Amino acid sequence: MNIGVLGAGQLGRMLALAGYPLANRFTFLDTTGHPSAGIGDVMVYTDQHHLLDDFLAKVDLVTYEFEHLPVALVQAIEERKPVYPSSEAIRVCQNRAEEKALFDRLGIPTPAYRLVEHADELEAAARELGCPVVAKSVTEGYDGKGQAVIRDPAEAHDAWRAIGHPRLIVEAFVDFVREVSIIAVRGRDGEVVFYPMAENVHVDGILRYSLAPLPDLDDAVQQTADDYIRALLDELDYVGVLTLELFQTRDGGLLANEMAPRVHNSGHWTIDGAVTSQFENHLRAIQGLPLGDTAARMPTCMVNVIGREGDAAELLALPDAHLHRYDKSERPGRKLAHVNLLAPTHAELLDRVRACAALLPEAPAPTFSFE
């Protein structure tokens, strides 16, 4: 089976690495001009229709690892080859207003929000919701880009100019206990499996650490997250891996932040820490194969390597450490690699995470909600 992947970054690279044991082959279609997968067959798409024809001639089915794609392109591909997940999932997930409307329709709680199209409306929304609020561009935002925290309604006009986008979503600022994510996989036959939820530590909007399973997570909270993501999967008739990022509040409640229609950075821990990785399970799902066990093997933490690489030999000398490099050049804020650390107990795991962070020049101090 030759799998066509829209997008050609590290997520595509890791999909391919998971697919070779299943005798899959991979053809990537990059729309950014900067592919980094470094594996499989990579084609760079620039509106040349013959290139799209060449791509489609090579592949049996199409998936994606990047959702900021023209929906019309995905719809055109869908006319000619099976696409999993469907273009509808891309359409919804690349627009925060559509995403929030879907959460509302399915009864999935979110932070209170308003949609605004003018600096005055932004100021009014900041007053109504009560500062601080977070303003985010409705489209094209990721890793905290296109966002501003407004601490006083008087800052609204500056924030509007700084974001520079015609339509924003304004959200009440959530005083969360921790950020968590739930990753689930839905097969072509509608079967759904769920990974244990992870705690995600972000700094400046970029994910730094993901740890799972959580030592203090109530079964009822995992069940609630499972119910939310199952509702999304069923509504979208989704096939493949879906990620839902949530805020956990002081009373244990969950508020949905955003979702990603793909394998996700907060699921990289599953490569070494779960019986079946998110990448393998995505490939199983889209090919109509049985889904694999999502249980964690051991407490696991994923440490992102951002901006500058650490010394590989030192990192690999840590016990039960697994280095996954993306073969990219160093640049501030760029995701270059991650390290998965496993340990029999959470206490030992935290020691290993601190030892790992000390070896990475740009790593912030690791702190988790349950310490």
The stretch near ligand AMP (CB under 6 A) out of 22-30, 170-178, 266-274, 316-324 is 170-178
Nearer to ligand AMP, 257 or 265 (CB): 257
Q: Which of 144, 215, 253, 292 binds ligand AMP (CB under 6 A)?
A: 144
Question: CB of 111: closest distance to ligand AMP in angstroms?
Answer: 4
Interaction of residue 179 with ligand AMP, rule CB under 6 A: yes
Interaction of residue 174 with ligand AMP, rule CB under 6 A: yes
Nearer to ligand AMP, 179 or 280 (CB): 179
Question: CB of 152: closest distance to ligand AMP in angstroms?
Answer: 16
Handedness of CA 96, 98, 100, 103 (dihedral sign): negative
Nearer to ligand AMP, 89 or 323 (CB): 89
Question: CB of 173: closest distance to ligand AMP in angstroms?
Answer: 4
Site for ligand AMP in 241-260 (CB under 6 A): 245, 257-258
Which residue type occupies 234? D
Question: CB of 247: closest distance to ligand AMP in angstroms?
Answer: 7
Distance, in Å, from the CA atom of 302 to the CA atom of 296, rounded to the nearest integer, reads: 13
Bridge pairing between strands 61-64 and 2-6: parallel
Nearer to ligand AMP, 136 or 284 (CB): 136
Q: Which of 25, 81, 202, 324 binds ligand AMP (CB under 6 A)?
A: 202
Strand pairing partners for 242?
184
- φ, ψ of residue 206 to 5 degrees: the values are -110, 135
Q: What HEC string does the chain produce?
A: CEEEEECCCHHHHHHHHHHHHHCCEEEEEECCCCCCCCCCEEEECCCCHHHHHHHHHHCCEEEECCCCCCHHHHHHHHCCCCECCCHHHHHHHCEHHHHHHHHHHCCCCCCCEEEECCHHHHHHHHHHHCCCEEEEECECCCCCCCEEEECCHHHHHHHHHHHCCCCEEEEECCCCCEEEEEEEEECCCCCEEECCCEEEEEECCEEEEEEECCCCCCHHHHHHHHHHHHHHHHHCCCCEEEEEEEEECCCCCEEEEEEECCCCHHHCCHHHHECCCHHHHHHHHHCCCCCCCCCECCCEEEEEEECCCCCHHHHHCCCCEEEEECCCCCCCCCEEEEEEEECCCHHHHHHHHHHHHHCCCCCCCCCCCCC
**Are the CB atoms for 92 and 236 separated by under 8 Å?**
yes
Report how many residues bind ligand AMP under the rule CB under 6 A. 14
Question: CB of 180: closest distance to ligand AMP in angstroms?
Answer: 11
Nearer to ligand AMP, 14 or 133 (CB): 133
Site for ligand AMP in 88-127 (CB under 6 A): 111
Nearer to ligand AMP, 123 or 179 (CB): 179
Nearer to ligand AMP, 14 or 174 (CB): 174
Question: CB of 191: closest distance to ligand AMP in angstroms?
Answer: 29
Q: Which of 8, 74, 116, 134 binds ligand AMP (CB under 6 A)?
A: 134
Question: CB of 73: closest distance to ligand AMP in angstroms?
Answer: 24
The token duo for 305 is 């390597």
Nearer to ligand AMP, 5 or 206 (CB): 206
Nearer to ligand AMP, 110 or 300 (CB): 110
Interaction of residue 171 with ligand AMP, rule CB under 6 A: yes
Nearer to ligand AMP, 16 or 134 (CB): 134
The stretch near ligand AMP (CB under 6 A) out of 133-141, 217-225, 233-241, 273-281 is 133-141
Residues of this chain that interact with ligand AMP (CB under 6 A) are 111, 134, 136, 141, 144, 171, 173-174, 179, 202, 205, 245, 257-258
